[in-house]
Structure 1
């Protein structure tokens, strides 16, 4: 029970850290890109990953965590895949309308469920699927405004969905199968993610913004926000791996849509962004779907824990009863042998007389 309680507290802490850090970095990046005119999102992500790796390297030097070697080929392919998925998501945003990009993000959940069902044989109950449907409906109502389709944007969206789903499933699978922590996996994969984005980022950004990141004039305020964004990203990247490792890729995506609702509410409350009754209804429906998902997941996990405990309790009971039976049998055998010896003694006594 103590281990289960500790695990639940760890999951809650990971979820809270992920929400707080993600909302913080969205606010910081919004200020950086919208108000300060720094539009180089992909290049900025590569800096995030480099700072994350450097931070973890220093932490490893001070023995904050123990580095566990992982097969180089696995780490390299995993890092490159995650880096490519970020690039495709940014390209999808650049080639599609905001509404279609939101549809792309929403499609990640059903595709993840489909892939885990087919390849990992994971079962999702009807209640879980229903709660996810309510969630997606709510987020769709709140965030999707227009759906302008084009061939290039559609292809990029499909590639973004596929690489993101596979990358997040691998994040969970590698941690469990190789018995590595989220910190160990992030530490070893971050250099490859940073490298692929550091090379491709400036090209992608120049293609999307028609500006050169190296020709940009960096003011002290812009540099300060870039540094702040990179520092927050350490927590974002760490909590991402932590949440996926402790829960599942689907739960992480559900959490991501909670962040979307929080960002929308923040934009309306503090930045006075345009907000309608449709946005409010969508957010409320999405929060209701998240509540259903959390409730059903908790209920099913408790049932699973009980079913796992029953065989163990039966084995413990069997171990406890077996020695008693053995002792009882031994005791009866000793009693019988004592009676035999006693009768033999009487017979010998009678023969002497």
Structure 2
């Protein structure tokens, strides 16, 4: 029971850290890009990952965590895949309308469920599927506005969905199968993610913004916000791996949509973004869907724990019965030997 309570506290802490850090970095980046005119999102992400790796390297040198070696080919492919998925998501936003980009993000959940069902043989109950549908409906109402389709944007969005889903599933799978922590996996994969984005970032950003990141005039206030964004990103990247490792890729995506609702709310209260009744209704529906998802997940976990406990008790009972039977058999053999010796 103590281990289970500790695990639950760890999950709650990871979820809270993920929400707090993600909402903070969205607000920071929105101020950086919208108010200060720094539009280079992909290049900024590469800086995030480099700062994350440097921070983890320093922590490892101070023995705050143990570096566990993992097959280099696996880590390299995993890091490159995650770097490509980030670049594709940014390209999707650049080549599509905001509404279609939001639909792309919404499609990640059902696509992840489909992949886990087909390749990992994972079962999702009807209640879980229903709660996810309610959640997606609410986020769609709150955030999706216009839907403008184009061939290039659609292809990029499909590739972004595929790479993001596979990357998040691998984050969970690699941690469990190779028995590595989220910190260890992030430490080893971050350099490869950063390298992909560091090379492709300026090109992607110039394609989307028609501006050169190296020709941008960096004022002290812009540099301050970039540094703040990089510091927060360490917590964002760490909590992402932590949440996926402790829960599942689907739960992480549900959490991501909670962040969307919170960002909409903070945007209205702090940045005075336009807010309509549709936004309010959508957020309420999404929160209701998240509540249903959390409730059904909790119920299923309780059933699983109860089943595991029952199976453990049955195993102990069978072992005890077998032991008693063995002892009884030995007793009969001793008595028989004694009888034969008397005769």
Structure 1, unpaired ranges of 5+: 345-353
Map of 1:72 onto structure 2:
72
Structure 2, unpaired ranges of 5+: none
Map of 2:318 onto structure 1:
318
2:55 pairs with 1:55: yes
Structure 1, 37-46 or 306-315: larger mean CA deviation: 306-315
Map of 2:271 onto structure 1:
271
Task: Note the C-alpha offset of 1:7.
Answer: 1.1
What does the per-residue CA deviation read over 1:89-109, in whole Å, with 9 as the maximum and x for residues that have no partner?
001001111101000000000
TM-score (norm 1): 0.93
Map of 1:21 onto structure 2:
21
Task: Note the C-alpha offset of 1:312.
Answer: 1.2
Map of 1:246 onto structure 2:
246
SS at match of 1:214: helix
Map of 1:126 onto structure 2:
126
Alignment partners' CA distance in 1, 2:56 and 2:275? 40
Map of 2:113 onto structure 1:
113
What does the per-residue CA deviation read over 1:275-330, in whole Å, with 9 as the maximum and x for residues that have no partner?
11110000000000000011111111111111122221112123334445555666
Alignment partners' CA distance in 1, 2:245 and 2:125? 21
What does the per-residue CA deviation read over 1:166-216, in whole Å, with 9 as the maximum and x for residues that have no partner?
111111111111111111110000000000000000011111111111111
Task: Note the C-alpha offset of 1:333.
Answer: 7.0
Alignment partners' CA distance in 2, 1:171 and 1:340? 67
Map of 1:97 onto structure 2:
97
SS at match of 1:65: coil
Alignment partners' CA distance in 2, 1:116 and 1:330? 51
- Rg: which structure is higher? 1
Task: Note the C-alpha offset of 1:51.
Answer: 0.3
2:19 pairs with 1:7: no
Map of 1:153 onto structure 2:
153
Map of 1:187 onto structure 2:
187
Alignment partners' CA distance in 2, 1:118 and 1:65? 35
Structure 1, 136-145 or 69-78: larger mean CA deviation: 69-78
Change in CA separation of 1:340 and 1:149 when aligned onto 2, cut-off 3 Å: closer
CA-based RMSD: 1.7
Alignment partners' CA distance in 2, 1:75 and 1:336? 65
Change in CA separation of 1:41 and 1:340 when aligned onto 2, cut-off 3 Å: same
Question: Number of residues paired by the alignment?
Answer: 343
Map of 2:290 onto structure 1:
290
Map of 1:347 onto structure 2:
none
